[in-house]
């Protein structure tokens, strides 16, 4: 049996955003990085032969926002967005409790995402946003196409979809 003493849990703050201590505990347990969708995406990216990338990195040093997967040379930043946290048009369902707080939180997240996309695009980066519900294989194919285009040295036009290079050519 373990001899360590159990420390008392800190008291919940009286002005907590959570409706109950149980909700607060669940929400605090949500991971910021290495989530299941991110791990599945990275596995699929590796299966496409892309092995040299960075995880949880700031593409722009002066902007305090991190991309989930970053290809530095081709300047591709990949974000794997959670359906709830980023307001997925297909799966987002507004919170029933404390809805004013959560609505403003999600609206703020989406605005920050748009601003991040614009900052990166203006700096010459290609931004790929992937919803957590997307098929990792299809998403990895989009990433591979963008990385391939970035490595070819050709500068893609604004809003141009990535092209997939035929390996037989």
| Strand (E) or helix (H) holding 77 | strand 76-81
Residue 151 confidence (pLDDT): 77
Of the candidates 73, 69, 74, the residue with the CA atom closest to the CA atom of residue 58 = 69
Neighbours of 24 (CB within 10 A): 15
Three-state DSSP state, 135: coil
Residue 167 confidence (pLDDT): 45
Sign of CA dihedral 82, 84, 86, 91: positive
Of the candidates 146, 131, 123, 133, the residue with the CA atom closest to the CA atom of residue 45 = 146
Residue 95 confidence (pLDDT): 85
| Strand (E) or helix (H) holding 78 | strand 76-81
d(CA 150, CA 76): 7
Inter-axis angle of helices 136-151 and 36-47, nearest 10: 50
Residue 61 confidence (pLDDT): 93
**What is the chain's length?**
169
Q: Mark the ranges of the chain whose per-residue pLDDT is less than 70.
A: 1-19, 23, 26-29, 31-32, 152-169
Instruction: Please say whether the beta carbons of 128 and 78 come within 8 A.
Output: yes
Three-state DSSP state, 80: strand
* Burial zone of 80 (CB within 10 Å; 0-12 exposed, 13-18 middle, 19+ buried): buried
Domains and CATH numbers, the chain: 30-151 (3.40.960.10)
């Amino acid at each position: 049996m373990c001899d360590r003493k159990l420390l008392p849990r800190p008291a919940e703050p009286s002005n907590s955003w959570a409706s109950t201590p149980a909700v607060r505990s669940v929400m605090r347990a949500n991971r910021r990085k290495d989530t299941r969708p991110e791990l599945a995406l990275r596995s699929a990216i590796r299966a496409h032969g892309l092995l040299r990338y960075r995880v949880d990195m700031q593409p722009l040093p002066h902007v305090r926002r991190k991309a989930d997967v970053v290809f530095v040379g081709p300047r591709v930043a990949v974000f794997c967005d959670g359906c709830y946290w980023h307001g997925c048009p297909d799966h987002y369902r507004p919170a029933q409790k404390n809805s004013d707080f959560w609505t403003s939180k999600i609206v703020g997240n989406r605005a920050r995402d748009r601003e991040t996309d614009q900052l990166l695009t203006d700096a010459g980066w290609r931004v790929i946003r992937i919803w957590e519900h997307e098929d990792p294989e299809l998403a990895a194919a989009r990433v591979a196409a963008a990385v391939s285009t970035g490595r070819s040295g050709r500068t893609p036009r604004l809003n141009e979809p990535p092209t997939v290079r035929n390996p037989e050519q």
